[in-house]
């Protein structure tokens, strides 16, 4: 039973990835009433009605709705074609004409609320929804001709394509918000949908957007670990007790506790070699003088000499990775890690700095 269930699950996954689902046994076409051979009919995912490919395409070329055409007036099927099915059956130009016919049909409806509901239904299956009539773009203030702009599907605000593309390209956040403000200067909280972004951007621009999204996700994750190979983009989320990260990009073997590449060496050997390298660069006397002059300090955990050239007072030991407060010369956090002020420098606790000379260690 378990094997059968697993097989059905895999079939469902495979079906979800296909643009069209073809009949696996002869079926009657619900439009022409002819028997359709195996593989020459299309089964609509939404309602499971079957049509021969020719009849279904002809129906779409003349349709003003995404509803299933079943079955010649007997009763109206409430199912609808998915956007991937329409794209697979029609050419890009035919898809464009199909969308225009739907919008033209909406314009004949005098009920504005019904227009919005119908438009939302169309939008759920379309990559982008064009403006059905000329509007003034609220960003550039120029007139945007019909079908030259985009109606955002979450809030129905309309912008010209050029302004919307520039907004997405310049956005710092992964979630790009609608830039429109109301009469009270309150910003719209709606998010531009991923399918809208993908449709508007070129392939290169979309790849750059994905890279930016990936980097943002890495920076926002508390347990992210980036591969230590220079210029490698590989990273992962580290779970408890994980000590090794095999980068899927460059195949390098990263030691997570050390935060370094030291294949063939134990962690202790690596730490010792790093310390020896540091000591080779500076004599013992020079290190002691730097410690006395305050331009260096000892790591509170491994006791290696640390220096700070510039920037805030939050530093990380290159050997043991302890987070250190330069102002107090002690650990930033307690034994429970980031956020634990019980054994750390307690900066900003009760609004107080950890030291009179603190330069934003938190």
So which residues are the catalytic ones? 312
**Strand ranges (DSSP E) for the chain?**
27-28, 35-36, 41-43, 50-52, 129-130, 135-136, 143-144, 149-151, 158-160, 224-226, 235-237, 244-246, 253-255, 296-298, 305-307, 314-316, 323-325, 330-331
Bridge partners of 160, per DSSP, are 149
Q: How far apart are CA 222 and CA 246, in angstroms?
A: 19
Q: Please, what is the angle between helix 112-125 and helix 92-107, to 10°? A: 170
Strand, coil or helix: 287: helix
Burial 2-27 (b: 16+ CB within 10 A, else e): eeeeeeeeeeeeeeeeeebbebeeeb
Helix (H) or strand (E) holding 267: helix 267-281
Residue 286 C-beta-side C-alpha neighbours within 13 Å: 8
**Cα-to-chain-centroid distance, residue 61:** 35
Q: How far apart are CA 7 and CA 128, in angstroms?
A: 36
Tokens of 207: 């790849």
Q: How far apart are CA 20 and CA 43, in angstroms?
A: 8
Tokens of 132: 């059905």
Helix (H) or strand (E) holding 162: helix 161-170
């Amino acid at each position: 039973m378990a094997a059968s269930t697993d097989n059905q699950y895999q079939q469902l996954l495979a079906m979800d990835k296909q643009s069209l689902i073809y009949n696996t046994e002869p079926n009657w076409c619900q439009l022409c009433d002819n028997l359709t051979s195996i593989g020459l009919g299309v089964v609509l995912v939404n309602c499971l009605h079957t049509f021969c490919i020719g009849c279904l395409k002809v129906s779409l070329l003349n349709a003003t709705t995404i509803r299933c055409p079943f079955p010649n007036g007997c009763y109206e099927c409430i199912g609808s074609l998915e956007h991937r099915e329409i794209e697979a059956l029609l050419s890009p130009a035919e898809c464009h004409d199909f969308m225009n016919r739907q919008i033209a049909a909406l314009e004949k409806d005098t009920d504005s609320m019904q227009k919005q509901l119908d438009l939302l239904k169309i939008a759920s299956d379309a990559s982008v929804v064009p403006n059905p009539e000329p509007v003034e773009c609220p960003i550039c203030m120029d007139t945007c001709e019909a079908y030259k702009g985009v109606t955002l599907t979450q809030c129905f605000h309309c912008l010209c394509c050029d302004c919307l593309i520039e907004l997405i390209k310049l956005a710092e956040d992964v979630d790009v918000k609608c830039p429109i403000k109301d009469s009270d200067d309150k910003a719209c909280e709606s998010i531009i949908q991923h399918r809208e972004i993908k449709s508007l951007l070129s392939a290169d621009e979309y790849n750059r957007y994905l890279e930016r999204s990936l980097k943002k996700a890495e920076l926002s994750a508390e347990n992210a670990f980036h591969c230590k190979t220079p210029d490698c983009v590989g990273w992962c989320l580290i779970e408890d007790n994980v000590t090794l990260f095999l980068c899927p990009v460059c195949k390098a073997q990263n030691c997570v506790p050390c935060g370094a590449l030291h294949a063939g060496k134990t962690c202790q050997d690596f730490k010792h070699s790093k310390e020896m390298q540091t000591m080779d660069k500076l004599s013992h006397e020079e290190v002691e003088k730097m410690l006395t002059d305050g331009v260096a300090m000892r790591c509170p955990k491994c006791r290696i000499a640390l220096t700070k050239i510039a920037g805030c007072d939050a530093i990380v030991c290159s050997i043991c990775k302890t987070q250190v407060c330069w102002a107090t010369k002690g650990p930033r956090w307690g034994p429970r890690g980031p956020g634990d002020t019980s054994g750390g420098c307690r900066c900003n606790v009760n609004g107080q700095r950890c030291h009179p000379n603190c330069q934003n260690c938190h």
